[in-house]
Structure formats: structure tokens, C-alpha cells
Amino acid sequence: MKKLNRIKYFTGLVVAVLGLAACKKSFLEKPPLSSVVDANFYKTDDQVLAATSLLYSQVWFDYNDKAMYNLGDFRGGTAYSAWNDRGNVLFNTTGDNGENGASWRAFFNVVAQSNLFIYNINRYGGEAVTPRIKKMAIAEARFMRALAYRFLVMNWGPVPVIENNFDRMFDTSITRNTVSSVWRFITREMRAAAADLPETPIQEGRLTTWSAEAMLARFYLTRAGVESTGGVKKQQFLDSAKYFAQRVINNSGRDLLSSYPDLFRYPYDNNKESLFELQWVFSGSNVWGTNNSMPEYLAYSPDIAFGGWGGDKGATWWLVSQYDGIEAQTNGTLKGRTLDQRLYATFMLPGAYYPEITKVTDRTKLIFPFTGTDNNFLNVKKYVIGSPIDLAGIATQQHYPNNTYMMRLAEVFLIYVEAAMGNDLSTSDATAIDYFNRVHTRAGLAPYVVAGPNGSGPLTLDMLLSERFKEFAMEGMSWYDLVSLHYWNPSKAFSILNSQDRGLFFTRPDQMPNPTEWTFTKTAWFTERTINANAGNFLLPIPNVELSQAPNLQKAPVDYP
């Protein structure tokens, strides 16, 4: 198995367009292009579209492979691995940590490949390439580059902004740029992308104006904290977040799926809720980089997957405690049941039934087993789409066809709510409450009521954060929510992180089959339950191998123009 070349940002580039076999995604359905070189490939609209298609898959492969959940969920505390990937789980990631280095390279690979495409289309674009396609294709690359820098600046803080890798080839004098100037850059890039992308996708799954404006809503909400003063978020950016969220909600034509579990029942790709997905295809076992490898690391057993290496991964005790109906008991246990469909669709409780997954051993539909005596796992369901029996002919080991969400309309609704809260940290605004309830009730819960005899008062930031943790668990989101919080209220971010129990526990159903409630008990002998997040370990350290080759990365950052 040959992995995609990983490109250090300061050492040059490989050709972005690699050979593809026949694919199910419409805009990836291209003949093999392995003989194509830069100088003769950007001559027609079809060739340009074929080149940019890999910006939706192959350049993001290393992020999707492990970095998505390693950073977004393990570091954020919504999920954990008991025996592996412990650096991010326990907040003791070092400069030598393999996943840290892989994540850094993954994002800079997206930057480098996006830069390469922009360079190539401007240098080699032929007269037959229409202005409309050229403008759109460059906007796609700028979108991807901006999004990659969002991940970089939120994980490592000051990072070097590079718009042209050829200008910096073999340049070891690169310095970092300040956090605020990186955010200015990526917001400027995303605004340019929004202006040049079409309102309707030119092919299924491609970016639109609404994809970029949804990202702008996300970016501005975070920038309101980046440029806060004394813990007061910048109102101009809160207003911008609210403005772009409202535009997407009103004009994109997107809508929530009626059933939350259906978001992750294959084939769910490019559904009406989706604003941007990584586009994975099953291109055969000999093609590496256009298939989705992530389900293999999440599935708990080869009984439901081609490999199934996720037996020690699952929901944290802290996340379980967030679900309505599961209550803390005086003896230190948790007990109850929840109507919240998001738990069922994201993690597996003993006795949960998944008719879309057929077990290999006995060819029956999956009822998640009750095992163990003092510890077990609520293993991952989200993105686990079926066994070899269910997926015969469209998947093999580490080669799955299902897409990865990068932006859903549900997030846009909740961005609006948080922007409406502003610096009050709560809201009774009718539109905001309506948007919150569209997400909340879709999960199977009663609507939130502000006033009246059954009212609970204004919706608070803590309630909204809890909603986000549950809505987007195992979508690589919780860590970035906490980084956004840390920009303007670091003590609150540390408090949330340091209150999380990330240790082993035992889940016992009241009966099998058809349980009606569960009791959760902490494993007495497991001691690594909490972390000590602080200013010294909050951000990831730049990988040592990068520091050794570009020592100026250790210098104080400077503003990017």
C-alpha cells in the first residue's frame, strides 16, 4: 500500500493530479490521468475540473485518516482511546509525537497542493479554459487553503502563511505569523472564494457560495474572540457571523434532514443538509488516497468492518453525562436513558440495534453486545456504515466510499444562536431560540421554552456548548469549539477541559435484549481520568523535525501583510 506523498511546506511539491479509477462521485468520474503533467493538463474546462476534484479528497486524506478525531474529539474530550493516541487524550502531546507531526503535515499538504493548483492554472491554463471555470477553480483552491489554515492556527497558534510554495522552495528562514494576522488572511481568502463560487454546484458535491459563506459565519464567530478585549468579543465580527449565517439559512436551499441517524446511514453523501463534504469514493484496493480509511480505525470489531481496529475508542464519561435523561446518582454512578437520538447515532450502548450493519460471524443484524465485568466501551457508530456483507463490492479494508462532513446546516443554525447571544452569554431572541430548537427537536427532544409556566429562562452559552458537543461528537468539532472559547475566556475553556472525566467505565443495561435504561460505573482501578490543561500545554507544539529544518519557526511571530 503506497501512501500519498506528504509534502513539507518548505521543500517543494508533487503534481496534484494523480490517476483515478472509475468513481461513483460525478465529478470524480474521470479516466486514469497518471501520465498527465502540469504543462499539458490545464488546457480545457474538463481538465481543470479533474485537477480540482482532488482538492476534495486526496489532499485531505491524512487529516481524515486520523487527525480529524485525534484532535477534534480526543483532544476536545468527547471521545477517547484507552490504550492508543494517548498524547491527545491526556494533553501531553510532544514535539516528537507521531500524530502531532502527521497532523501538521496533513494541513500543510492541503496548503501546498492548493498553492500548486493556483500556480498551475495561472501559468498553464489554456485558451479553451473558460473564465467562469478558471475563476471557480481558483476559488475552490482558496477555500481549501483558508480552511487548512483555520485548522493550523487553532492547533499550533502562530504559523507561517505561505501563498506560493515555489517562492519558498528550500527556504529554511520562514517565520511564523501572528494569530490575528493569520485569521485576517483566511477570512479575506474565504470572502474571495464566496464571491467567485457559484450559487448552485456545477457538479454534485462541489463548493458553492453558500459553502464559503457558512465558513465565513464560522470564521467570524471565532474571530470575535480572537480580537476580544478584556474578555469582550468584538461586536463587528459577531454581527458578521450572524449576517452570513442568516444568508445561508435563508438562501442556500439547504435544510435539516428529518432524522439525525440518517445523516450517517450510507448512502448519505451530499444530502440536503450538507454544505461541504470531503468526497470519498471506492476506487479499488490498489488506489490509496481517494477512499475513506477512517471507518477502519473507528469500527470496534472485524465482525462489522473489513479491519475494525476501534475496540478501545468510545464516548467519554463526560460526554455521556451531557445527554438529557442520564442523571448523576448519589453513589457516583450515572443512570437513565435518553430520547436524544444523537447518542444512538454516534456511540453504541449495549442492546442498541443497527439494522444497517450485518455481523460477519452469524450474518445477523447488529445488536451491540453487553460484555466485560468492570469496563467496556460505548464504541463509535458515526461513520461506521457496515460490514463486508453490507458493503461487498463497494469497500475493502481501509477503502470505504462514505463522505466526511466538513460543514452541515445544523452548525450554521447554532452559529447564529451564539452570535445572537453576543457578549450577554444568553439569549431570549425568538429567531435564535427557533434555530436552536430546529437542531434540538430534530434529535428527538422537547423544544426549549424561554418564558411561561414551563419556561426555563434565557438560553445560555453553557446550554449551547453542550448542544454542540452532542450534535457534532465524532465529527472533529469539540476541540475547535474549546479553542474558540479559549480565545476570549481561557479560564472557562480550562475549566471545561479539566472537569472532563476521560477514564474507563462500565455500562450495564437493565436487561438484554431491549434495555430500557443503563447504569454507568467508573472503573475503580483506572487512574488516568482527568487532565491538567493550562497555558503551557493548550496548543500543540510544532513538531521537532520541522523546527530542526526551519529553526526560525522558534522566533517570535510577525504580522502577515
pLDDT for residue 28: 41
The arithmetic mean of pLDDT across residues 338-354, rounded, is 98
CB 385 within 8 A of CB 265: yes
Query: Residue 165: what pLDDT?
Result: 84
Contacts for 506 with CB less than 8 Å, ≥ 6 apart: 372, 373, 374, 375, 376, 520, 521, 522, 523
Cβ atoms of 203 and 49 within 8 Å: the answer is yes
Residue 36: per-residue pLDDT = 37
pLDDT level of residue 41 (50, 70, 90 thresholds)? confident
- Tens of pLDDT, residue by residue over 433-455, are 999 999 999 999 999 999 999 99
Q: Looking at residue 343, what is its pLDDT? A: 98
End-to-end CA distance of the chain: 42
Whole-number pLDDT of residue 283:
86
Chain-centre distance for alpha carbon 529: 25
State the pLDDT at residue 168.
66
Q: Which of 139, 24, 60 is nearest to 405 (CA)?
A: 60
- Identify the three-state secondary structure at position 442: helix
The residue-averaged pLDDT of 283-311 equals 94
pLDDT, tens digit (0-9, with 9 covering 90-100), for 5-23:
222 222 222 333 333 333 3
Mean pLDDT of 288-314: 97
Distance CA 501, CA 317 (A): 6
Average pLDDT over residues 491-505: 98
**Is the pLDDT assigned to residue 543 strictly greater than 80?**
yes
pLDDT of residue 30 exceeding 70, the answer is no
Domains and CATH numbers, the chain: 26-228+540-554 (1.25.40.390)
**Omega of the bond prior to 295 within 30 degrees of 0, cis?**
no
- pLDDT for residue 4: 27
> Nearest CA to 46 among 128, 111, 113?
128
Per-residue pLDDT tens digits for 152-197: 999 999 999 999 887 765 567 789 999 999 999 999 999 999 999 9
The amino acid present at 393, given as its one-letter code, is: G
Check whether 498 has a pLDDT greater than 90: yes
For residue 170, the model assigns a pLDDT of 59
Q: What is the pLDDT of residues 223-235, one digit of tens each?
A: 999 999 999 999 9
Position 270 pLDDT exceeds 80:
yes
Is the pLDDT confidence value at 240 over 60? yes
Average pLDDT over all residues of the chain: 92
pLDDT computed for residue 274 by the predictor: 98
Q: How confident is the model at residue 2 (pLDDT cuts 50, 70, 90)?
A: very low
CA distance linking residue 549 with residue 189, whole number of Å: 28
Looking at residue 38, its pLDDT comes to 63
Contact 425, 457 (CB under 8 A): no
Lookup: cell for 235: 461586536
pLDDT band at 39 (very low <50, low <70, confident <90, very high): low
pLDDT at residue 530 is higher than 90: yes
What is residue 27's predicted lDDT score, i.e. its pLDDT?
42
Grid coordinates in use for 8? 513539507
Please state whether beta strands 313-315 and 459-460 pair in parallel, antiparallel, or not at all (unpaired): unpaired
pLDDT for res 269: 98
Residues 500 and 364: their CA atoms lie apart, in Å, by 37
